[in-house]
């Protein structure tokens, strides 16, 4: 039986537990379906060590439910960063880490044999060349070590990733760590520079996003290299994990919810598909796609006439108009809201207190939820998609009949 250890080897697994149990699911122990109950207990204990100050629980008919409760106005640093800083290590990892950095500091380029000799001399142990080579290869991937090849031999030097006096504003580092994608990088820099957040408080602080930063990094790398990817995407509706081959093209970030999405071309799709990053569990980068630039240009054209995520290819946009009564003296906030939420639509004053909002959009149906928030001010709706407009009128009529049966007829006719 393996002994419990707070440190972790695989961040992907602890990320799944954090999201599934403390963000999405509000699950009980009996809902756990991955491996064993003991595994669940171990992972729960790890998360409690990282996020103990923010965990709450209640009891339901099926048992104790643990969930995350955070007041973003009262935290100075994203607590999820703690999980990134809990990677397990061995005795040899520690010895080689400090000795390799010490040996390469102040040196130009050293061969593998030189480094192995110096490591064994300083450690009073006998490390195999392959062991040291593997550690150097790992560190070159992190940017800690630089590598060059001369004929058949490899030479190593210390990389430029260490932060001593970077000249970066300490406030900029702290702000970056809390307000941007890959903020954990800023958190590491802040730790090394002994910086604390004493100035910034965020009203909308989407701290959970950091759990998918490694997914975001792989997708951005694929976009930069114009490559396809294979993703393992979890469908919350069907509760099924599917492997999908897609061509990622663009990253969307919702200013309302903070959720992040990848917009992609999936095989056989007549519209671009949108996938939530927090539902993607793994990313495998595949081969370069020669159609990348064509698909990206098509997407950019779609974005110009899209209200939300209905990015349909090669069709003509639909024209839509909404005429509203807005009291100019007391309801200027409604005009401001049209400007803020209209997403490129045109706002025109056609008479005193009468305004018209118009837009060309691929799918008028995307507007319906937003349009209904102006109920009571709408004078008329017009547009190419008669079905959607008629459905709106029928919904209003049905609602009126429910609450005021005597006035159901004649509404919006």
Q: Encode pLDDT of 342-401 as tens digits.
A: 877 899 999 999 999 999 887 788 888 889 999 989 999 999 999 999 999 998 888 888
> Residue 370 is encoded by which pair of tokens?
């937003």
Q: Smallest Cα–Cα separation from 7: which of 48, 54, 55, 46? A: 46
Distance between CA atoms of residues 236 and 25, nearest Å: 10
Band of residue 52 on the pLDDT scale cut at 50, 70, 90: low
Beta strands in 126-207 (DSSP E): 145-150, 153-158
Judge whether residue 301 has pLDDT over 90: no
pLDDT at 1: 43
- DSSP summary character for residue 225: T
Confidence band for 334, pLDDT divided at 50, 70 and 90 = very high
Specify which of 287-296, 306-315, 337-346 reaches the highest per-range mean pLDDT: 287-296
Is residue 205 left, alpha or beta, with left meaning phi > 0 and alpha meaning psi from -120 to 50?
beta
Q: How many Cβ atoms are within 10 Å of 244's Cβ, its own excluded?
A: 15
Q: Please name the helix (run of DSSP H) or strand (run of DSSP E) that holds residue 401, with its range, or none.
A: helix 386-403
Distance CA 72, CA 287 (A): 41
Contact of 41 with 86, CB cutoff 8 Å = no
Residue 306 predicted with pLDDT over 80? no
pLDDT of residue 241: 81
Contacts of 318 (CB under 8 A, 6+ apart): 360, 361, 362, 363, 364, 383, 384, 385
Share of the chain above pLDDT 70, in %: 77
Q: What is the pLDDT of residue 242?
A: 87
C-beta of residue 323 within 8 angstroms of C-beta of residue 354: yes
Read off the pLDDT band of 233 (50, 70, 90).
confident
Question: Would you say 101 and 156 are in contact if contact means Cβ atoms under 8 Å apart?
Answer: no
């Amino acid at each position: 039986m393996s002994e419990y250890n707070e440190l972790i080897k695989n961040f992907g697994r602890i990320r799944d537990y954090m999201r599934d149990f403390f963000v999405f699911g509000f699950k009980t122990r009996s809902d756990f379906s991955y491996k064993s109950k003991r595994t669940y207990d171990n992972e729960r204990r790890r998360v409690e060590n990282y996020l103990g100050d923010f965990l709450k629980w209640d009891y339901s008919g099926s048992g104790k439910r643990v969930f995350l409760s955070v007041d973003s106005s009262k935290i100075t640093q994203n607590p999820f960063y703690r999980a990134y800083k809990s990677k397990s290590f061995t005795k040899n990892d520690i010895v080689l880490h400090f000795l390799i950095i010490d040996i390469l500091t102040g040196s130009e380029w050293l061969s593998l044999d030189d480094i192995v000799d110096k490591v064994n001399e300083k450690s009073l142990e006998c490390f195999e060349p392959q062991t040291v080579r593997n550690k150097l290869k790992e560190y070159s991937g992190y940017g800690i070590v630089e590598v060059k090849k001369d004929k058949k031999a490899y030479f190593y030097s210390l990389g430029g990733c260490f932060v001593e006096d970077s000249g970066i504003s300490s406030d900029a580092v702290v702000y970056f760590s809390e307000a941007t994608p890959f903020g954990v990088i800023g958190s590491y820099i802040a730790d090394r520079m002994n910086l604390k957040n004493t100035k910034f408080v965020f009203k909308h602080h989407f701290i959970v996003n950091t759990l998918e930063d490694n997914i975001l990094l792989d997708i951005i790398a694929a976009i930069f290299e114009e490559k396809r990817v294979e993703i393992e995407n979890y469908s919350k509706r069907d509760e099924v994990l599917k492997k999908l081959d897609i061509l990622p093209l663009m990253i969307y970030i919702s200013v309302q919810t903070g959720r992040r999405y990848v917009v992609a071309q999936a095989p056989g799709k007549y519209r671009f598909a949108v996938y939530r990053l927090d539902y993607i569990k793994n990313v495998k980068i595949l081969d370069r796609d020669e159609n990348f630039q064509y698909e990206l240009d098509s997407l950019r054209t779609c974005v110009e006439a899209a209200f939300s995520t209905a990015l349909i290819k090669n069709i003509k946009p639909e024209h839509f108009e909404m005429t509203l009564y807005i009291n100019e003296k007391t309801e200027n906030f409604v005009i401001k809201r049209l400007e803020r939420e209209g997403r490129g639509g045109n706002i025109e004053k056609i008479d005193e207190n009468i305004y018209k909002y118009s837009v060309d959009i691929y799918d008028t149906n995307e507007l319906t939820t937003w349009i209904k928030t102006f109920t009571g001010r709408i004078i008329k709706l017009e547009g190419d998609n008669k079905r959607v407009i008629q459905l709106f009128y029928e919904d209003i009529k049905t609602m009126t009949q429910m609450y005021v049966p005597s006035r159901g007829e004649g509404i919006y006719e």
